[in-house]
């Protein structure tokens, strides 16, 4: 009896010690100590919110959910996430009322770290920078957040599944284009006279490269992966294709533009829209961009 009680007491002590054991987590600023894996997560930027959602976790708080649903689209935001205002000016009083265990932020909220730290521990994830390869950084931070939320095995499986699907999409395109894939310029319209051209450090160009496609207008990498260009500069895409991301509100004006109609890729019907897909997301945004780009390319394919 005494031995059994001693054993139970020992197990209880070990369990209590384990329950109180700190965990060490890493963000873009270094390592941090937390008392436990957080359950109530606030994600104040769309890219970190996407990373959390892609781990099967619903944040208790997100910024500008309406904007997310228009621009990011995937993954969908489940019911239960509370909209706490804009990404640059979140409602801190409402956030405090929600009692998060941890607050995840990115560069647009970095200046708020001190104020946010008064509410809960804050972790900062730098996904987009000219000092690193963005496509690699989003995966690294996905795994960091997975470790934070005790979802590492889940994340590793998602990443493996993603690579398999990217291989499949590439094979579909090779078949549709007879083994000779076109060069592609990926853009987003700034207006009817200028565009944002995705460069070598962008998620869309990384997705195209992963599909086996080179850029029709190579551009040196930047922090956000875009370079603003006049529409006239697109005329250099003589043999390749141009794909532009939705949403774009001025299709009619563009169709009526003589300048646009004179472009070689327009004349030869080598241009198409791409379904709204966020270009500044997390690890899974590479796959979402690849899916959307593949769909548009298949619609333009000769076979």
- State the angle between helix axes of 134-148 and 203-210 in degrees (0 to 180), rounded to the nearest 10: 100
Question: What does each C-alpha distance from 44 to 48, 88, 184, 270 come to in angstroms?
Answer: 7, 9, 33, 39
The alpha carbon dihedral of 180, 183, 187, 191 has a sign of negative
pLDDT value, residue 8? 43
Given this structure, which CATH class describes domain 156-300?
A: alpha beta
Instruction: Of 62-76, 145-159, 272-286, give the range with the top mean pLDDT.
Output: 145-159
Mean pLDDT of 215-228: 94
Residues of the chain with CATH 3.40.50.1980: 15-126, 156-300
Strands, sheet with 184-189, edge to edge from the N-terminal-most edge strand = 226-230, 194-198, 184-189, 241-245, 271-274
CA distance 266 to 236: 12
The residues near 228 (Cβ < 8 Å, ≥ 6 apart) are 190, 194, 195, 196, 197
The residues near 106 (Cβ < 8 Å, ≥ 6 apart) are 44, 45, 47, 48, 124, 125, 126, 127, 128
pLDDT value, residue 11? 45
pLDDT digits (tens, 9 = 90+) for 115-151: 999 999 999 999 999 999 999 999 999 999 999 999 9
Strands 102-105 and 194-198: unpaired
Alpha helices in the chain (DSSP H): 2-20, 46-53, 65-71, 92-97, 113-117, 134-148, 152-176, 203-210, 251-255, 258-261, 264-267, 285-300
CA distance 70 to 24: 36
pLDDT digits (tens, 9 = 90+) for 5-28: 455 455 445 444 444 568 999 999
Percent of the residues in the chain that have a pLDDT greater than 90, as a whole number: 85
pLDDT digits (tens, 9 = 90+) for 51-60: 999 999 999 9
CA 233 to chain centre: 28
Mean pLDDT of 95-124: 97
CA distance 194 to 228: 7
Q: Comparing C-alpha atoms, which of 100, 91, 147 is closest to residue 121?
A: 100
Homologous superfamily of 15-126 in CATH?
A: Nitrogenase molybdenum iron protein domain (3.40.50.1980)
Q: Which residue has the higher pLDDT, 1 or 209?
A: 209
Percent of the residues in the chain that have a pLDDT greater than 70, as a whole number: 93
The residues near 140 (Cβ < 8 Å, ≥ 6 apart) are none
Per the prediction, the chain carries an average pLDDT of 92
CA distance 144 to 34: 14
Q: Comparing C-alpha atoms, which of 184, 268, 196 is closest to residue 231?
A: 196
Decide if pLDDT at 153 tops 60.
Answer: yes
């Amino acid at each position: 009896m005494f031995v059994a009680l001693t054993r139970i007491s020992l197990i209880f002590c070990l369990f209590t010690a384990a329950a109180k054991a700190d965990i060490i987590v890493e963000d873009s600023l270094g390592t941090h100590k937390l008392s436990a894996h957080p359950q109530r997560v606030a994600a104040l930027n769309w890219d970190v919110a996407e990373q959390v959602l892609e781990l099967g976790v619903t944040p208790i708080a997100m910024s500008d959910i309406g904007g997310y649903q228009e621009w990011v689209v995937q993954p969908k935001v489940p019911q239960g996430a509370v909209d706490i205002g804009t990404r640059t000016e979140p409602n801190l009083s409402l956030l405090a009322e929600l009692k998060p265990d941890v607050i995840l932020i990115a560069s647009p909220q970095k200046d708020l770290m001190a104020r946010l730290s008064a509410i809960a521990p804050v972790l900062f994830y730098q996904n987009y920078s000219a000092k690193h390869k963005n496509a690699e950084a989003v995966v690294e931070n996905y795994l960091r957040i997975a470790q934070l939320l005790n979802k590492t095995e889940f994340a590793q499986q998602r990443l493996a599944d993603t690579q398999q699907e990217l291989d499949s999409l590439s094979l579909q395109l090779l078949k549709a284009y007879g083994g000779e894939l076109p060069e592609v310029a990926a853009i987003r319209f700034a207006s009817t006279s200028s565009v944002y051209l995705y460069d070598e450090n962008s998620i869309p160009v990384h997705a195209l490269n992963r599909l086996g496609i080179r850029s029709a207008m190579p551009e040196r990498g930047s922090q956000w992966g875009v370079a603003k260009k006049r529409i006239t500069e697109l005329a250099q895409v003589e043999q390749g294709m141009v794909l532009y991301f939705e949403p774009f509100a001025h299709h009619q004006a563009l169709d009526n533009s003589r300048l646009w109609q004179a472009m070689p890729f327009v004349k030869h019907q080598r241009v198409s829209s791409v379904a709204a897909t966020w270009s500044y997301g997390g690890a899974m945004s590479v796959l979402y961009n690849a899916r959307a780009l593949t769909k548009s390319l298949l619609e333009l394919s000769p076979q």
